[in-house]
């Protein structure tokens, strides 16, 4: 099973580690399954940029970025070279070690859970 480490720009939140992530799941699905807050106003269909994340390590173990995803990342708050959308980051490798930073989401209006 893959190991995913979640860090947060919001320093009030502690890191979370998911050690039993299955290949075929998206990072967004993992956050939902493990009660990790990640906005997703469009429901995870690559139609907004609210599930914007930074992939700090392990990008080779997730689905490649598409042109459509790149277009939406351009609309995200503070996009960087390591920016991705959580809904589009499908884990490909069962033995992956992936490190994710979730940007501060306090300025995003929409889905809260």
CATH numbers and ranges of domains, the chain: 2-102 (3.10.20.30)
| pTM exceeds 0.75, yes or no | yes
- Cα–Cα distance between 42 and 17 in angstroms, integer? 25
Residue-wise DSSP of 28-45:
HHHHHHTT-----TT-SS
- Which pLDDT value is given to residue 105? 83
Torsion of CA 30, 34, 37, 43, to 10 degrees: 50
- Cα–Cα distance between 97 and 1 in angstroms, integer? 9
Going residue by residue through the chain, which has 113 residues, state the pLDDT in tens, using 9 for 90 and above.
Answer: 999 999 999 999 999 999 999 999 999 999 999 999 999 999 899 999 999 999 999 999 999 999 999 999 999 999 999 999 999 999 999 999 999 999 998 766 654 54
- Which pLDDT value is given to residue 110? 56
């Amino acid at each position: 099973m893959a190991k995913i480490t979640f860090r947060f720009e919001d320093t009030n939140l502690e890191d979370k580690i998911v050690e039993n992530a299955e290949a075929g799941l998206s990072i967004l699905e993992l956050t939902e399954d493990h009660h990790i807050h990640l906005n997703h106003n469009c429901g995870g269909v690559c139609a907004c940029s609210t599930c914007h994340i930074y992939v700090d390590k392990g990008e080779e173990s997730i689905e490649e970025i598409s042109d459509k995803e790149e277009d939406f990342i351009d609309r995200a708050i503070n996009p960087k070279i390591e920016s991705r959308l959580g809904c589009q980051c499908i884990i490909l490798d069962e033995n992956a070690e992936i490190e994710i930073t979730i940007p501060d989401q306090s300025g995003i209006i929409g889905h809260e859970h």
